[in-house]
């Protein structure tokens, strides 16, 4: 008889868990609060165009994502293109893609530039990431890049992403960010190459869902899980009005949410799951009928802006994907408890456009074809110094309940590929775990009953 496993969370982590468990013969049910799968990769519609609500690219070294695309038959829809990057600093927009751009960048002197190059090379090529987990990000950057570059470039960028507590982040965080972006530079090619799937993540999620259904995976969507309990060797997942019982459950939600859902966990487990401060994101999307440059990313090193950077998806995917318009994303990361997550769309859109007009003064309100705001409260755990040393374990004291989420990313910034890698590593860890694997043979499909 098969083991029935309930996967809580239908984002990339939950879908990866469902895929691997179903391939091993489990009968899998995925439960998600939203009406469709995909979590942060879910698509939406803006101005008649369907695309990701948060921008996504696939880098050449995103091996897990590429392998997934291969498996679901989408490898040939993945397209790589060279992209340009800009930096907005000290009131000016600077191209920042090539060595020449860098050498002619006016805000730094020659010594600063040599030190910055050495810093990037060190972050990219030196090993022993674990040691940098214990060093503060500003100490590391100052040691390599020098005070001038830290104050003019690094600190504003860090503050934009991590807020006022940026100084308490670990050096491992910035090294992981640099490594990931440098990985987009294909060997022998100077420019960065980013990839996207024709049609965006909507296409990926549709193919993945179809693949999972063929493997027998069932979906319970649009139902928020209220709690997960272990009773008489069965795991019960309680939703509003209904509950599901299965042999075991894998929770793929952010750690503090898992802690709240599992009241039976011991105090020490609760402490580990709630110790991290989570950051969310507010991301304003605009569909614009003017060309806002040809850079995919414009990093904003200016803390008076209400966004961290500007992403122009049309510069990568081509305007033909978006009815000839520029699809612009303006993300702002904020602590999960921040009021900023609850501001009205009207206020956020107006503020975003006003700030954008500082970079592109010729941009008029009538150029905006459509605007929408996407929000997510728990996107990443703040990369505080030493965080990796106190990660909660995958196995819990409730043997049939495992917790695997993207908070387990080690020395990597949040991305789809490494999220898949985290889940696969966790499943490998659980392969020989007696509590997780030895279920009685009477079980089978997860059973729903009303509560
Ligand atoms: C602005 C932005 C840009 C990004 N850009 C890129 C990029 O360019 N490239 C890249 O590779 N990655 C990118 N990412 C990261 C990528 O989106 C994530 O790594 C990935 O989607 C994380 O998946 P997850 O399953 O861990 O989490 P999530 O996607 O957050 O999934 C969690 C799921 O749990 C569900 N849930 C929560 N609470 C409950 C509950 N109580 N009951 C039931 N269900 C619940 C949610 O609805 C959600 O579906 C970006 C992310 C953001 C926010």
Task: Tell the burial category of 267 from Cβ atoms under 10 Å away from its Cβ (0-12, 13-18, 19+).
Answer: exposed
Write the pLDDT tens digit of every residue in 247-269.
Answer: 999 999 999 999 999 999 999 99
Give the angle subtended at the CA of 180 by the CAs of 77 and 132, to the nearest 5°: 160
Give yes or no for residue 406 CB within 6 A of ligand 1. Answer: yes
**Once rounded to an integer, what is the mean pLDDT over residues 234-251?**
94
Write the pLDDT tens digit of every residue in 197-236.
Answer: 999 999 999 999 999 999 999 999 999 999 999 998 899 9
Write the pLDDT tens digit of every residue in 333-347.
Answer: 999 999 989 999 999
What whole-number percentage of the chain has pLDDT above 70? Answer: 96
Residue 344's alpha-carbon distances to 160, 221, 283, 347, 382, in angstroms, are 21, 27, 12, 5, 25
Give yes or no for residue 253 CB within 6 A of ligand 1. Answer: yes
What whole-number percentage of the chain has pLDDT above 90? Answer: 79
Check residue 189 and give its pLDDT. 45
Check residue 303 and give its pLDDT. 80
Cβ pair 292, 328 in contact under 8 A: yes
Instruction: Give me ligand 1 centre to Cα 40, in Å.
Output: 3
Give yes or no for residue 426 CB within 6 A of ligand 1. Answer: no
Give yes or no for residue 14 CB within 6 A of ligand 1. Answer: yes
Write the pLDDT tens digit of every residue in 78-137.
Answer: 999 999 999 998 888 999 888 788 888 888 999 999 999 999 999 999 988 889 999 999
pTM for this model (two decimals): 0.94
Give yes or no for residue 249 CB within 6 A of ligand 1. Answer: no
Q: What confidence category does residue 293 fall into, taking pLDDT thresholds of 50, 70 and 90?
A: very high
Check residue 442 and give its pLDDT. 45
Helix (H), strand (E) counts: the chain: 16, 19
Give yes or no for residue 55 CB within 6 A of ligand 1. Answer: yes
Instruction: Answer whether residue 306 shows pLDDT above 70.
Output: yes
Check residue 160 and give its pLDDT. 84
Cβ pair 57, 196 in contact under 8 A: yes
Check residue 438 and give its pLDDT. 79
Check residue 69 and give its pLDDT. 98
- Cα 70 to Cα 64: distance, rounded to the nearest angstrom: 10
**Once rounded to an integer, what is the mean pLDDT over residues 283-292?**
97
Instruction: Give me ligand 1 centre to Cα 113, in Å.
Output: 36
- Cα 129 to Cα 337: distance, rounded to the nearest angstrom: 30
Write the pLDDT tens digit of every residue in 12-27.
Answer: 999 999 999 999 999 9
Q: Identify the residue whose C-alpha is closest to ligand 1 atom 6.
A: 56
- Cα 109 to Cα 4: distance, rounded to the nearest angstrom: 62
Domain architecture of the chain: domains with CATH: 4-39+202-275+385-450 (3.50.50.60), 57-80+194-199+278-381 (3.90.660.20), 98-188 (1.10.3110)
Instruction: Answer whether residue 386 shows pLDDT above 70.
Output: yes
77 is written with which tokens? Answer: 């829809």
Mean pLDDT, the chain, whole residue set: 92
Give yes or no for residue 239 CB within 6 A of ligand 1. Answer: no
Closest CA to 197 of 307, 351, 38: 38
Check residue 190 and give its pLDDT. 58
Instruction: Give me ligand 1 centre to Cα 41, in Å.
Output: 6
Q: What confidence category does residue 429 fall into, taking pLDDT thresholds of 50, 70 and 90?
A: very high
Instruction: Answer whether residue 445 shows pLDDT above 80.
Output: no
Check residue 188 and give its pLDDT. 44
Cβ pair 134, 306 in contact under 8 A: no
Give the angle subtended at the CA of 129 by the CAs of 128 and 132, to the nearest 5°: 110
Residue 282's alpha-carbon distances to 55, 155, 378, 415, in angstroms, are 12, 21, 11, 17
Please give the number of the atom of ligand 1 that sits closest to the Cα of 37. 49
Pocket residue to mutate for ligand 1, from 6, 7, 9, 38, most atoms within 8 A of Cβ: 9
Instruction: Give me ligand 1 centre to Cα 302, in Å.
Output: 27
Task: Tell the burial category of 143 from Cβ atoms under 10 Å away from its Cβ (0-12, 13-18, 19+).
Answer: middle
Q: What confidence category does residue 450 fall into, taking pLDDT thresholds of 50, 70 and 90?
A: low
How big, in percent rounded to 5, are the helix, strand and coil portions of the chain? 40, 30, 30
Give yes or no for residue 421 CB within 6 A of ligand 1. Answer: no
- Cα 276 to Cα 295: distance, rounded to the nearest angstrom: 34
Q: What confidence category does residue 447 fall into, taking pLDDT thresholds of 50, 70 and 90?
A: low
């Amino acid at each position: 008889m098969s083991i029935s496993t309930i996967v809580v969370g239908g984002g990339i982590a939950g879908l990866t868990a469902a895929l691997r468990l179903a391939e091993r013969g489990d009968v899998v049910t995925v439960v998600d609060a939203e009406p469709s799968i995909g979590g942060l990769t879910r698509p939406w519609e803006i101005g008649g165009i369907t695309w990701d609500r948060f921008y996504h690219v696939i880098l050449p070294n995103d091996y897990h994502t590429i392998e997934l695309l291969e498996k679901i038959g989408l490898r040939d829809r993945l397209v790589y293109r060279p992209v340009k990057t800009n930096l907005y600093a000290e009131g000016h927009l600077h191209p920042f893609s090539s060595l020449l751009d860098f050498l002619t960048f006016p805000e730094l002197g020659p010594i600063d530039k040599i030190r910055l190059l050495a810093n990037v090379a060190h972050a990219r090529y030196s090993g022993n990431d674990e040691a940098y987990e214990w060093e503060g990000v500003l100490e590391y950057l100052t040691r390599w890049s020098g005070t001038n570059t830290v104050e003019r470039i690094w600190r504003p960028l860090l503050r934009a992403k991590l807020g006022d507590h940026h100084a308490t982040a670990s050096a491992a965080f910035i090294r992981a960010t640099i490594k990931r972006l440098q990985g987009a530079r294909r060997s022998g090619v100077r420019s960065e190459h980013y990839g996207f799937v024709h049609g965006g993540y909507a296409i990926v999620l549709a193919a993945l869902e179809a693949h999972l259904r063929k493997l027998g995976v069932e979906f319970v969507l649009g139902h928020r899980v209220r709690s997960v309990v272990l009773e008489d060797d069965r795991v019960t997942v309680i939703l509003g009005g209904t509950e599901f019982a299965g042999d075991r459950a894998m929770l793929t939600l952010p750690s503090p949410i898992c802690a709240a859902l599992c009241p039976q966990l011991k105090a020490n487990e609760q402490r580990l799951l709630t110790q991290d401060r989570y950051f969310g994101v507010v991301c304003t999307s605009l569909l614009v009928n003017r060309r806002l440059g040809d850079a995919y990313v414009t990093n904003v090193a200016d803390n008076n802006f209400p966004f961290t950077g500007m992403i122009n998806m049309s510069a990568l995917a081509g305007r033909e994907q978006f009815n000839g318009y520029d699809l612009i994303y303006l993300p702002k990361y904020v602590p999960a408890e921040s009021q900023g997550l609850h501001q009205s769309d009207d206020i956020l859109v107006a503020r975003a456009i006003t700030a954008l007009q500082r970079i592109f003064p010729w941009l008029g309100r009538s150029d905006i074809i459509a605007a929408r705001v996407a929000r997510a409260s728990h996107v990443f755990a703040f990369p505080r110094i030493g965080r990796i040393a106190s990660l909660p374990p995958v196995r819990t004291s409730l043997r049939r309940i495992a917790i695997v989420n993207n908070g387990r990313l080690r020395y990597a910034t949040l991305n789809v590929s490494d999220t898949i890698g985290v889940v696969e590593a966790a499943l490998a860890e659980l392969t020989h775990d007696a509590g997780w694997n030895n279920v009685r043979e009477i079980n089978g499909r997860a059973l729903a009953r009303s509560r």
